[in-house]
Every structure is written in structure tokens, then in C-alpha cells.
Amino acid sequence: MKLISEKIKGFRNIESAEFFPSTSVTVICGENGQGKTNLLESIFLLTGAKSFRHVKDKELPDKNGSGQASLDSVFFAEGRRQEIRVTIGNKGRTASLNRGSEKKASELAGKFCCVVFSPEHLELVKGTPAERRRFIDTALCQISPGYLSDLREYTRLLAQKNALLKDARNISAAYDMLDVYDERLAGTASSIVTYRRSFSSELEILAGEAYSSVSGDREVFSMGYLSTTGDDDDPFEIHRMITASRGDDLRMGYSTVGPHRDDLELRINGDPARVYGSQGQQRTAVLALKLAEAGIFRNKLGEEPVLLLDDVLSELDGSRQEFLLRRLGGSQAIITCCDPNFIERETDADVWKMHGGILTKEE
Ligand SMILES: Nc1ncnc2c1ncn2[C@@H]1O[C@H](COP(=O)(O)OP(=O)(O)O)[C@@H](O)[C@H]1O
Ligand SMILES: [Mg+2]
């Protein structure tokens, strides 16, 4: 899939802009704080997902403007031109596809897909399990609408169960209610864990290949899904694990097992990358995971996702830069950078400049 154009109004520091990326590589250059990442973020929002910067929707409209942001795009997917309009304002984040009725933006899932590469992704290896769960969740929400609804339902039930656990001692019917929650949580948890495990094994294959290519086969990447409810994803088994943790749950005042506590273990030559990986190995692992994410999208959708590379090239050494650029292949890539020398090397790319929220094409 390719983004053909995007018209941005009242988004972050971009009062008004029109962007026509190249079908291959487009470079957005500009100094820090000018709005380059904001532009990528606006493109990412066309997927219907929440911002990759993990901020609240209400922080997205221009704070000096009307409080309403609109993103109008034309893109090519499924063999035809399509349109997505996303608005963010007092009605939340809504979207319409091909001029249809206005719906919640999340209902766009699977229509337009992006993979973002950003320096913060190093947290995928170094950060807490929450970072890795967010990575899987963001990806699965884009490609599997069923996953998104399961995750919503799970989060809702979990919040209710946790509220109950907090003051269970004062509620005489608490145990009966906890039984009801645990049963319903187990069903949704089973579905979530099944999706995640299959995503994780696909990632392992694709990221393993990418990792070997970058490291020249000297190192082996592997990974696994670490479930707090054991290795069996059957709802009855998960239910058994959840009820077995009732004592802990009550003591802690929150739900101690389930997909909200699971993790991905990333390994290099069999050792956890978070603990033993060098900076270079960790960077390579992140790069490999992101390329694998793009590969999964490609396999699932039969289309290349749009790649958004935010300031990452400056973080990579020459050989990794070259590897990444070669891997972009036929995909549409939109790359931001501060370093103007980079552009001279990328002579084929279209170049745009971002300055103070104003986007212009360099001729
Ligand atoms: N909601 C908002 N309204 C107006 N300006 C914003 C908003 N959110 C962020 N900004 C501004 O956007 C700029 C940062 O843009 P960013 O895209 O992160 O820069 P960079 O070019 O370094 O990637 C800052 O000047 C910040 O004040
Ligand atoms: Mg930036």
C-alpha cells in the first residue's frame, strides 16, 4: 500500500500542510522540534490506531487552534485508490473510509498499515514487559480486528475485577463476583494469548532471518512468549491458573496473572538480550523485530505496509544503515532526519523540509 497524499489541518504544530510522498523513499529534513515526528504521527494515525507516542488523543490537536484536527488522505491499497479521513476533537478520534459514515477510528483496522521505526524502540529490548506487550498489541490491533475487541473486553473486565479486589474484604458477595469475572476473563485471555503466541512465533522466524543477515550469521536470535498462565492456552486451563492465584490477587489487591502480565523473552545466542546484549546487539534485535513486523503485515495483508523511519538512521552504524535501506525494497518509506549530509547520499529520494510546522518540498 502507498500513501498518495495527506492534507493536515490543526494537528500539533502543523496548522495546515499538504504532503505528497514519493512511492519509494521520501526524506523529511529539519532541525529538532520543527514537526518532523508530528508529520509521521499524523500518517500513523491513518491506521486507526492510537498514536505511537503513547499520548492521549486530546494532546494531538494544535493547542493554539480550534481543538479539532483533521487528516485527509488518499492512498492506494487492494488495487484501488481509497480515502481515509481522521478527525480528532471533542468527539474523540473518529474516521471515515471512502467517504462512508463517521465511525470510531479503531474500526479502520487493516485498511492502511504502517510500521514505525523510532529510537525509543530500543525500549523493546531494554524496557519493561509493558513495552513489549504494547508492541504486540499495536501490531495485532492493526491486522486483526478480532484481537482489538478481545483486548478491549479484557481490559474492561480486568479493571472491574481489580476494583473489586481492592475492597473485597468489605463486600460480602465479592467471592461470587470474582468467580464470574475470572470465568469471563479466562475466555478472553485464552483468545488473546493464542493470537500473541502465533504472532510471536512468526516474529521469531522473520526476526531471526533478519538478525542473521545483519550479524553475518555469527549470532542467533530467538524469542518466546512468556505466559503467566502457563503453556496451555485452553480457556479451562487458563481459568484454573487464574483461580489458583485468587489468594495472591486478594493479598496484592490486583489481578496477578493473565495476558496483562505476560512478556516476550528476546534472546541472543540463547541469553536474554535485555541483560546480556551489548548496545549493538540490542539495536540489531530491535531492527530485526521491526523488519519482522513489516514482514508479518505483508504476509497477512498481501501488501507492503508503509514504513515510517523516525530519526533512526543516525542511530545506526554504516553497515546497519545500508542493510535497512536495502531491506526497504519496494516499500514506501518516509524517513526523517536532522543530518543534511544523509540526503546527499540518498539522491533518489524526494526531499521535503519541515520548519516550524511548515512543510515544503525541496526542488
Ligand atoms: N498539541 C500541540 N499543539 C501545538 N504544538 C505542539 C503540540 N504538540 C507538540 N507541539 C510542538 O511540536 C514541536 C515538536 O515537534 P516534533 O515533531 O516532535 O519535532 P521534530 O522535528 O524534532 O521531530 C514542538 O515545538 C512542540 O511544542
Ligand atoms: Mg522527532
Does the beta carbon of 262 sit less than 6 angstroms from any atom of ligand 1?
no
Q: Which residue has the higher pLDDT, 72 or 362?
A: 72
How many CB atoms are located within 10 Å of the residue 351 CB? 18
Q: Which pLDDT does position 346 carry in this prediction? A: 64
Instruction: Indicate whether 229 pLDDT > 80.
Output: yes
Closest CA to 139 of 63, 247, 44, 72: 44
For the chain, percent of residues with pLDDT exceeding 70? 98
Indicate the pairing of strand 2-11 with strand 14-19: antiparallel
Residues of 14-48 as b/e, b for ≥16 C-beta within 10 angstroms? beebebebbeebbbbbbeeebbbbbbbbbbbbbbb
pLDDT tens digits for range 277-297: 998 899 899 999 999 999 999
**SS3 state at 148:** helix
Q: What per-residue confidence (pLDDT) applies to 170?
A: 74
Q: Whose CA is closest to atom 17 on ligand 1?
A: 35
Which strand (E) or helix (H) includes residue 310? strand 306-310
* Arithmetic mean of pLDDT, 65-75: 97
Least confident of 186-195, 249-258, 305-314: 305-314
Q: For residues 40 and 116, is the Cβ–Cβ distance under 8 A?
A: yes
Query: Stretch 205-224: mean pLDDT, rounded?
Result: 91
How many Cβ atoms sit within 10 Å of the Cβ of residue 94? 17
124 pLDDT higher than 80: yes
**pLDDT confidence of residue 319:** 82
> What secondary structure, in 3-state letters, does 64-77 show?
CCCCCEEEEEEEEE
Question: For residue 68, what pLDDT is reported?
Answer: 97
Q: Is the CB of 33 under 6 A from ligand 1?
A: yes
- The residue behind cell 504476509 is 299
- Secondary structure of residue 48 in the 3-state scheme: coil
Give distance in angstroms: CA of 309 to centre of ligand 1: 17
pLDDT of 347 strictly over 70: no
32 lines ligand 1 (CB under 6 A): yes
Per the CB < 8 A criterion, the answer to whether 313 and 342 are in contact is yes
Return the higher-pLDDT residue of 341 and 117.
117
Question: Edge-to-edge strands of the sheet including 103-104?
Answer: 14-19, 2-11, 69-77, 80-89, 92-97, 103-104
Interatomic CA distance for residues 120 and 279, integer angstroms: 14
- CA of 31, closest atom in ligand 1: 21
Q: Give residue 316's pLDDT band: very low, low, confident or very high (50, 70, 90).
A: confident
Pick the CATH number of 1-113+303-363 from 2.30.30.60, 3.40.50.300, 3.20.20.370, 3.40.50.10240: 3.40.50.300
- What cell does 72 get? 485527509
pLDDT, tens digit, for every residue of 18-34?
Answer: 999 999 999 999 999 99
CA distance 255 to 245: 8
Could you give the CA distance from residue 266 to residue 312 in angstroms, rounded to a whole number?
A: 21
Q: What pLDDT does 172 receive? A: 75
Written in H, E and C, the secondary structure of 324-359 is HHHHCCCCCEEEEECCHHHHHHCCCCEEEEEECCEE
329: pLDDT strictly greater than 80: no
Asked if 35 contacts 87 with a C-beta cutoff of 8 angstroms, the reply is no
Residue with CA at minimum distance from ligand 1 atom 2: 12
- 14 CA distance to ligand 1 middle (Å): 8
* Mean pLDDT calculated for residue range 183-198: 97
Predicted local distance difference test score (pLDDT) of residue 95: 98
Atom 5 (ligand 1) nearest CA: 13
Q: What percent of the chain clears pLDDT 90, i.e. is strictly above it? A: 78
Give me the residue spans of the domains in the chain: 1-113+303-363, 120-299
- How far CA 59 is from CA of 145, 316, 319, in Å, comes to 25, 31, 38
> Could you identify the atom of ligand 1 that is nearest to the CA of residue 60?
1
Q: Report the CATH number of the 120-299 domain.
A: 1.20.1050.90
Smallest CA separation from ligand 1 atom 19, residue: 33
